Structure 1
Amino acid sequence: MSLFTWLRPSLPAAVDPAMRQRLAQLPKPAPPGVHSLREQRWVVIDLETSGLNLNRDQVLSIGAVAIEDGAIDFSQQFERTLHRPAQKTNPSVLIHGLGPDALAAGSAPATALLELLEFIGDSPLLAFHAPFDQHMLGRALKDSLGHRLQHSFYDVAEIAPMLNPDTVMREAGLDDWIGHFGLQVDERHHASADAQVTAELALILFSQARRQQLDSPLQLSTRLQQWRRRKAQSHSW
C-alpha cells in the first residue's frame, strides 16, 4: 500500500464503484460570475432536520427547486425523504410531518444526496438562513458520501434586509418576509414548499437588486461581503 493510499480517507461503505464514478463526473461548482442574475441558474434548497444541533442532528428531508431564465422552473424540482428508521419522534420531527413510517420508507441517504448533487450541478445555492443548511448538508455529504461541499451559498435572510434597509424587522424570519411581500403560502415546514416560497422571495429580491445596479452573482456577492463588514463594525461600536 502506498503512502498516498494510506493517507487518503476511505469512502463510506455505502459508496459503491458506480456511485464513485458518478461522483467523479460531477461538474465543479462555478464561482460567482459577471453574467446577469437572470442568466444564472440557481438552486433553492430547504432541509428539514431532526433538530437544530449542528453536530448531532440529522437531515431528514430535502426540497429543492431551480430558478432558470428568471423564473421558477417547475420541471426542475427535487424532493427526497431520507431513510432514518432509528430517528426518534420529537416535536422537531413532527412539525415537518415526518413520522416513523415516512422515515423508514425513505431513500438511502447516500443515494438521495448523490442525486441532489447531480440535480444541483455547478449552480450556486440559495437558502433562508443558509449557514445552517450549508453546515447540515455539508456534514451529511461527508458522512454519507465522503464528499466535500464546495458550492457557493447565498443567504436570502441576508439579501432581504440588505436590499430593504428601510424595512424594520428585527431578526426577521421567512414568515416575516413572506408577509411583507404579500406572498401566498399553502404549506410551511415542508422542505419542498419552503424551497418554493424561498424561490418566490428570491425572485422579488433579484428584481430589487437589478434596480440597485446589482445584476450579476459577483456583484451580489461583493455587496453582501461589504454589507456584512458594515454590520459587524456597527455592532462593535
Structure 2
Amino acid sequence: MRGSGAAPAPVALSAVRAQALADWQAAPPLDTRRSHYRTRYVVVDVEASGLDMKRDRLIAIGAVAVVNGRIDPADSFEVILRQEEVSTSDNILIHGIGGSAQREGTEPPDALLGFLHYCGHAPLVAYHALFDQTMIERAVREHLGVRLDACWIDLAWVLPDLFRERIDAQVMLDDWLALFDIDNIQRHNAVSDALATAMLLQAAMARATARGAKTPASFVDIEKARRWMRRSG
C-alpha cells in the first residue's frame, strides 16, 4: 500500500516551499512497532471533483488525529485547494464546497505542505482508503514533485476481521457508524467524515489490543491477510 510507479517529474518550488518540504522529509520516521496507545494516527478524508482517480481533482482534505488512543478535536486539519476550474453543480451539492470557496482556496503546493507537516510520518487511516490515498498521492506528486511513501491503513478491511461476530464483510462506512452508534455531524464534509472514522479507529484499537494485535504493524498485517483471503476465496 505504498506509492509506486515511475519517479515523479521534477517540480520547480520556491525556496520557501523547498525548505518546508525538506523539513517534512527530515521529520522522525514512523515506528510501526509502537503500541497503538503510544502512536499518533492521522485519520484522513478527501473531497474531489468526482470519482475518477486518474482525471478528477482533489478539492479538500480533512484530517483528525488520534493520539495515544484519544481524539482532541483541536488536533485537526482542513484545507481547500484552490481550483482553476470549479467542479460541477452536482458535485458541489455532494460536498458543499461552492465555487467561490474553490476559487479562493489555498494554493495547492501550500495546502499539501500544510497537510504533510500536520501528518509528519504518522500512519494514515481511512475507510476505503484507496480513493483518499490515490488522490493525495497524485496531488503531492504533481504539485510537490515527490512520492508520498506513507503507511496507509484501511478500516474497511481491518474492521470486518476484528468484529466478525458483528459484520464479517466489507460494507459502507455508514453501516459501521450505525453499529457503534456514532453520529456523523455533516456527511461528505472531510473533517466530519474523518472524525467519525477516527471514532471507529478507537474501537478497532481497543479490540485489536485485546486480541494481542497491539501496533500499527498489526493493522497492516490484518489488512494484508484479509486482502489475501479475498483474492484466494
TM-score, length-scaled by structure 2: 0.91
How far off its partner does 1:230 sit?
1.8
The structure-2 alpha-carbon separation of the partners of 1:10 and 1:220, relative to structure 1 and needing over 3 Å to count, comes to: closer
Q: Percent identity?
A: 33
SS where residue 55 of structure 1 aligns? coil
Give the one of 22, 44, 68 matched to 1:24.
22
Cα separation, 2, equivalents of 1:137 and 1:29: 21
Cα separation, 1, equivalents of 2:28 and 2:97: 31
Matching residue's letter, 1:118: H
How far off its partner does 1:219 sit?
2.1
The corresponding residue for 1:3 is none
Cα separation, 2, equivalents of 1:227 and 1:29: 30
The corresponding residue for 1:4 is none
Cα separation, 2, equivalents of 1:91 and 1:169: 34
The corresponding residue for 1:129 is 128
Cα separation, 2, equivalents of 1:169 and 1:36: 26
Deviations 1:55-98 (CA, angstroms, capped at 9, x unpaired): 10011111011111210122321111111141232322321001
SS where residue 36 of structure 2 aligns? coil
The two structures, once aligned, show a CA RMSD in angstroms of 1.9
SS where residue 56 of structure 1 aligns? coil
Q: Which has the larger radius of gyration?
A: 1
Cα separation, 2, equivalents of 1:8 and 1:214: 35
- 1:69-148 equivalent positions in 2, closer than 5 A: 69-148=68-147
TM-score, length-scaled by structure 1: 0.89
Cα separation, 2, equivalents of 1:216 and 1:11: 36
* Aligned residue-pair number: 226
Cα separation, 2, equivalents of 1:139 and 1:230: 29
Deviations 1:113-161 (CA, angstroms, capped at 9, x unpaired): 0110011001110011111111110000111111211110000111111
Matching residue's letter, 1:102: A
